[in-house]
């Protein structure tokens, strides 16, 4: 499922980045060598990062 329409970032992209160590929203965009455009996806990205952190049992450093 595409989460960020502006940058074509999917939920799988976010989960993969989180598994590789991404902890913040900025990390997701940095992994793609881009930055947010409209920002409407940030809340969903935070939720996905939080879910991934819970699965891994780590703290999440990303704030909305």
Question: In this complex, which beta carbon is closest to ligand FES, that of residue 6 or of residue 60?
Answer: 6
From 55, 54, 41, 56, select the one nearest 11 (Cα to Cα).
41
**8 A C-beta contact, residue 50 and residue 60:** yes
Question: In this complex, which beta carbon is closest to ligand FES, that of residue 40 or of residue 54?
Answer: 40
Cα–Cα distance between 28 and 8 in angstroms, integer? 12
Please report how close the Cβ of residue 38 comes to ligand FES at its closest, in angstroms: 3
Within residues 1-60, the interface with ligand FES by CB under 6 A covers: 4-7, 36-41
| Binding residues for ligand FES (CB under 6 A) | 4-7, 36-41
């Amino acid at each position: 499922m595409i989460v960020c329409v502006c940058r074509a970032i999917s939920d799988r992209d976010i989960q993969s980045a989180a598994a590789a160590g991404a902890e913040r929203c900025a990390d997701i965009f940095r992994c793609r060598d881009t930055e947010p455009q409209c920002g409407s996806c940030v809340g969903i990205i935070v939720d996905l990062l939080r879910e991934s952190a819970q699965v891994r049992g780590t703290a999440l450093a990303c704030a909305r």
